Amino acid sequence: MKILIVEDEAKTGDYLRKGLGEAGFVVDLAHDGVDGLHLVQTGDYDLVVLDVMLPGLDGWAVLRTLRREGHEMPVLFLTARDQVEDRVRGLELGADDYLVKPFAFSELLARVRTLLRRGKTKEPEVFGVADLELDLLRRRVTRAGVRIDLTAKEFALLELLLRRQGEVLPRSLIASQVWDMNFDSDTNVIEVAVRRLRAKVDDPFEPKLIRTVRGMGYVLEAAETR
């Protein structure tokens, strides 16, 4: 499997190349958009990791061009923190997934493997469980057809729980994914956010979907049918 990384920050680029290389991938690294696009056009890549902020030709231009030219490999783009517009824009332009910097390498590797497994199938734009629905592009959440207003953090938290539904997510993972923070000590912020999210998406409805797994974290799943 051949992966192209387009990243202008030398340190990040080298780190990703080394990590993905050690994970068994053949990796090329381009330091700007022009080189990146040239490599996509000439090489045969199974996946592209694309930084958005690039000198010259930025990630959006690279993405738009490569899709227009019919290259259909999955594209995982890397965006700056808390840029909701970036995520929507990237997915609209034909990217398959995104990661917010800074991210854990293990998370990138998991996303890369998922994308490669999925092949050319597009990422779903709507996630759901039971009668709960989250529309990624429209940033809209409904339950039993009722529109629910969420803050940006609540939305991100629910998106994460839905993407990984059925999995118990440790608080530390939620912290790093939703808050871009690496902390284990102050889990209160997560507990508060989960409580608020529950008040909106679970309390007025049945069945309850978000469950606390004591000492471990949270899981979102439909109640078992008996």
Per CB under 5 A, residues contacting Ca ion are 8, 51, 53
Which of residues 100 and 132 has its CB atom nearest to Ca ion in the complex?
100
Which of residues 12 and 165 has its CB atom nearest to Ca ion in the complex?
12
Which of residues 98 and 155 has its CB atom nearest to Ca ion in the complex?
98
Minimum distance between the CB of residue 2 and Ca ion, rounded to whole angstroms? 22
Minimum distance between the CB of residue 54 and Ca ion, rounded to whole angstroms? 6
Which of residues 51 and 96 has its CB atom nearest to Ca ion in the complex?
51
Minimum distance between the CB of residue 51 and Ca ion, rounded to whole angstroms? 4
> Per residue in 5-29, is it b (16+ CB within 10 Å) or e — as a string?
bbbbeeeebeebbebbeeeebebbb
Minimum distance between the CB of residue 9 and Ca ion, rounded to whole angstroms? 5
Residue whose C-beta lies closest to Ca ion: 53
Minimum distance between the CB of residue 58 and Ca ion, rounded to whole angstroms? 9
Q: Hunting for tokens 């102050």 — which residue is that?
A: 186
Distance CA 160, CA 174 (A): 8
Which of residues 36 and 74 has its CB atom nearest to Ca ion in the complex?
36
Which of residues 8 and 154 has its CB atom nearest to Ca ion in the complex?
8
Minimum distance between the CB of residue 8 and Ca ion, rounded to whole angstroms? 5
